[in-house]
Structure 1
Amino acid sequence: MTLLTVWNDTDPTTPALQTRDFDTIHEVLAGLNARFSRWELKQLSAEPTQEEVLELYRDEIAGVNADHGYTLVDVVSITPADTDEYRAQAAEARQKFLSEHQHDDDEDRFFARGSGVFYLHAQGKVHAVFCEAGDLLSVPKDTTHWFDMGTNPDYVSVRFFHDDDGWVGHFTGSDVATHFATYDELASVPA
C-alpha cells in the first residue's frame, strides 16, 4: 500500500507525517501541484514487453495523454536475477536517479508492477511517496526530487513525456538525498 512520509528538510530523523491514507496522500500532494491516482491492475507476463504493457493499459494511457498533452510514452522495467549483470545494471540504474534533480517537463510515472520511492523536495519539506503497483504519480516540472528503486529493484513502469527527448534531468549538486530514509528503509515500515 502506498506510503507518504514527510520530513522538514532540515530534520531527516523525525517524520512530520507518515500515512497510507489515500485521501491524505492525495491532498498533501495536490498542495504541491502533484497529481496522484490509482489504476486497476492488469495481469502482466513474467517479463512483459513494452508493447504488452502499452496494450494492456491503452485506454488509461490514452486518457492521460488526452488530459495532459503527452506525446511520448515508454515502459521501463527491471526484473531481479541472480547474475552479475543484473546487480551491475541495478546499481547503475539506482545511482542515476538517487541525486536531487529537476526536469523541464512533468515526470509522470505509473507502476504496473513493483514499487519505487519519489522524494519531492518542496516548501521546506521532503515528501517521500512510496509508490506501489497501481499508483500513478505526476511530479510537476521544476520540482526538485530524486527517485530510489531500492538495492534489489523489481518494477515495470509507464512514463509519459511532452516531447521526444524523454528523461532529461538537471542535477542540483545537493547531497540532500543522502540524509533521508532509503527505499529499503521505507519498505520495512509496517502496513
Structure 2
Amino acid sequence: MSILSVYHVSSPELPNKVLTHLEDIASTLAEHGIVIERLPAATPVAAGAPQDDVNVAYRDQISQLSAERGCVASAVISVDDRHPQKAELRAGLLNEHQHSADEVRFFVAGRGLCSFHLGDFVYAVLCEKNDLITVPAGTRQWFDMGEQPRVVAIRLFGSPEGERMELTGDELARQFPGLDD
C-alpha cells in the first residue's frame, strides 16, 4: 500500500498529513506536478536481478512508457540485502538532488521511499510494486531503499543526461525519517 506523509520543513519528526488512498495521494502530489498511478508489474523479478534481466522482462512496458512519456533514456535500480555496496548506494541516493529531465519510476518489485522537497514541505511517498511515479525536472528529491533493501525500479528520463544527479548541497534530507524509521 502506498503512503504519503507530508511534513513541514520545521517539524521533520511529525507529519502534518498522512494519506493511504491512492486517489488522495495522487491529487495531493498533482498540485506539484508529480503524478502517481498504478501499473501492473506483470513479470516477476527478484530484487538484486541484473539490469539486463529486468530490461528484457519489461521490454514492452519500457517501450510503451518511453513512447507515451517522451523518455529517451533508462536505468534500473535493483538492490537486495546481499548487494555488496548497498550502504554506499543508499548513502548516495539519500543526498538531496534534482534531475535536468523528467523522471518516471516504475516499481516492479519491493519498495522505496521517494521524498520531495517542495517549498516549505517535504512529501515522502512510500512506493511499492505496481507504483508508477512521474517527477518533473528540477524537483528537489532523495530516495531511501532502507538498510535491508529490496527494490527493483525502472527509471526513465526525458533526456540522456537526465539520469545524472545534480546535488543541491542542502542537508535537509538527513533530518527526515527514512524507510526504516
Query: Is the TM-score greater than 0.5?
Result: yes
Cα distance in structure 1, aligned partners of 2:128 and 2:109 = 7
The aligned counterpart of 1:61 is 62
Question: What does residue 113 of structure 1 align with?
Answer: 109
1:31 to 1:92, Cα distance in 2 relative to 1, 3 A:
same
Whether the 8 Å contact between 1:111 and 1:155 is mirrored in structure 2 is: yes
Task: Give the SS at the match of 1:184.
Answer: coil
Partner of 1:26: 26
Describe the superposition over 1:106-132 as per-residue Cα deviations: whole angstroms up to 9, x where unpaired: 222111101111111113210001101
Size of the aligned set, in residue pairs, is 180
Aligned AA (1:79)? D
- Please tell me whether residue 169 in structure 1 is matched to residue 158 in structure 2: no
Which one has the largest radius of gyration? 1
Question: Counterpart in 2 of 1:181?
Answer: 177
Structure 1: gaps of 5 or more residues? 186-191
1:56–1:184 CA distance, 2 compared to 1 (3 A): same
- Where do 5+ consecutive residues of structure 2 fail to align? none
Inter-partner Cα distance in structure 2 for 1:9 and 1:45: 36
Give the partner amino acid of 2:5: T
Partner-residue secondary structure (3-state), 2:115: strand
- Root-mean-square deviation (Å): 1.7
- 1:100 and 1:145 in contact (8 A); partners too: yes
- Alignment TM-score, normalising by the size of structure 1: 0.86
In the alignment, is residue 150 of structure 1 matched against residue 146 of structure 2?
A: yes
Cα deviation per residue 1:155-179 (whole Å; 9 max; x = unaligned)? 1111102233352111121111111
TM-score, with length taken from structure 2: 0.91
Seq. identity, %: 34
d(CA) in 2 for partners of 1:30 and 1:78?
A: 29
Give the conservation status (yes or no) of the 8 Å contact 2:50–2:78. Answer: no
> 2:85 aligns to what SS in structure 1?
helix
Could you say if the C-alpha distance between residues 92 and 36 of structure 1 is closer, same or farther in structure 2, counting changes exceeding 3 Å?
same
Contact 1:42–1:56 at 8 Å: present in 2 too? no
